[in-house]
Every structure is written in structure tokens, then in C-alpha cells.
Amino acid sequence: MENISRRKFVTTSLKAGALSAALPFAAHAEKLSVFNAPAVQFSQVPLPYAYNALEPHIDATTMEIHYTKHHTAYIKNVNDAIAAEKITASSEKDFFAGASKLSAKAKNNGGGAWNHNFFWQVMKANGGAPSGKIAEAINGAFGSVDKFKEQFAATAMGRFGSGWAWLVSDGGKLKIGSTPNQDNPLMDSSELKGTPILGLDVWEHAYYLKYQNKRNEYVAAWWNVINWDEVAKRLS
């Protein structure tokens, strides 16, 4: 009886020792799996419509060049930078949260990749006018849809050189602003902060083939191709 009890005690002690030894390893392995999580990779969303779908407001040639040349280059360049610079951000959100610490190549091309993915999705043929909750939110923030459009257009026209005009939600409050180059409001280095709801590319490559230097005509035409249903989803 005593031998059985002693044998049971030894077996239990060995099991307990093995478990206690395994626990730190398991915790360490968990940390390692997080640490070794693959870095974010940017991908190009499929264009939600044909190149000519937004005509006459945005011409097919501009759309094709913009999507297949400019946007494709941003995607390739940012992923090259992530690999070469061993950037460890695990999501696009984390990538932009540390934008101030990134190289110019990583930051500019990451912004270009994300901004254009966003831009394609907030447009569609025969966009119409905002309605429902997005119209209510705009009316509440700016007084009317017309006043919102005036302020947004003025911001787009006021961006010197290349950049973007944005409608963002910041703590539940809608506001309008712009960013230079391929910056966006998700970047920690951006003066404009918030969640993008609507964005307009005012780089010359977005409109020059059709409108030449008439950015005002491009901005005015763009109101006809906004996907307000998508904008409303992003407001949620």
C-alpha cells in the first residue's frame, strides 16, 4: 500500500513538473507567434466597374491609366518597401498609425495604395444625390448638401499641387479637409485626423487628359459619380 502511494506521488509530481515547464514555453510560443505574424501586404481591389462606366464625367482612358499604371505601381512599391525595410506592421491601420516613422517610399506608396482602393469604391455610374442617414448627417454638420458641396469643392480647389480632399468622421463629427501628396487622415503624421467617408483625388493624373488644367470642371463633374450608398456604409 505504501509503495502504491509512493508511486502515485512520484507520477503526480512528474506530471506537475512537466505542466509547469510547458506553461512558460506555451506563453513564449504565443508571444513568438504574434511577433512572427506576417507583415501587412497591400493588394489592389478589383475596379468595381468598367473603365468607361463613369463617362462622360471621368473618361475611360484616364480610368485605365489611373488604375493599371498609377495604382498598380503604388501597390508594388509599398510591398517592395515593406519587404526591403522589414516593416512589421500587421495591418493597414497599424501601418498608417506609424507613418511618421516610415521611409518616404513606404509612406507615399502605402498612402497611394490605400487612397486609390478607397477612391474606386466611393464612385459609381449615375451616382445621384445623398439620401437617408448620410444626407441627414451632412445637413446636420454643414447646414445643407449644397453648402457641404461648396465647402468640399473649395477645399479640393484650395489644395496647392497634388493631394486629396476628404470628408471624415472624427469622434462622430463630420468635417472636411485635405492632405498633400498621398497622405490620408489615418496617418499619425496627418494634420487632418478621422475616418475617411469620402475622398477626391486632385492629382493632375486623375483629370488632366480630359480637363487639362481645369480642376474646377473635374470637381464639378465628380459629383455625378459618387456612390452615396458606399459613403453611407462608411458612416456607420
* Cβ atoms of residues 216 and 156 within 8 Å: no
pLDDT at 22 over 50: no
**Among 11-20, 45-54, 94-103, 152-161, which is the least confidently predicted range?**
11-20
What pLDDT does 14 receive? 41
The predicted model gives 166-195 an average pLDDT of 97
Q: What is the pLDDT of residues 119-150, one digit of tens each?
A: 999 999 999 999 999 999 999 999 999 999 99
On whether residue 47 sits in a domain, the answer given is no
On whether residue 37 sits in a domain, the answer given is no
| Structural domain range at position 82 | 59-236
On whether residue 214 sits in a domain, the answer given is yes
Q: Report the run of H or E that residue 2 belongs to, with start and end.
A: helix 2-35
pLDDT level of residue 208 (50, 70, 90 thresholds)? very high
On whether residue 168 sits in a domain, the answer given is yes
Which long-range CB contacts under 8 A does 149-156 form with residues at least 24 apart?
A: 149/223, 151/176, 152/176, 152/198, 152/200, 153/216, 153/219, 153/220, 156/200, 156/202, 156/215, 156/219
On whether residue 170 sits in a domain, the answer given is yes
User: What is the DSSP annotation of 135-186?
Assistant: HHHHHHHHSSHHHHHHHHHHHHHHS-SSEEEEEEEETTEEEEEEEETT--TT
On whether residue 40 sits in a domain, the answer given is no
* Cβ atoms of residues 198 and 219 within 8 Å: no
What pLDDT does 79 receive? 98
What pLDDT does 38 receive? 73
pLDDT level of residue 37 (50, 70, 90 thresholds)? low
What pLDDT does 144 receive? 98
What is the average pLDDT score of the chain?
88
pLDDT at 26 over 50: no
pLDDT at 9 over 50: no
What pLDDT does 199 receive? 98
Number of independent structural domains in the chain = 1
**Tell me, what CATH number does 195's domain have?**
3.55.40.20
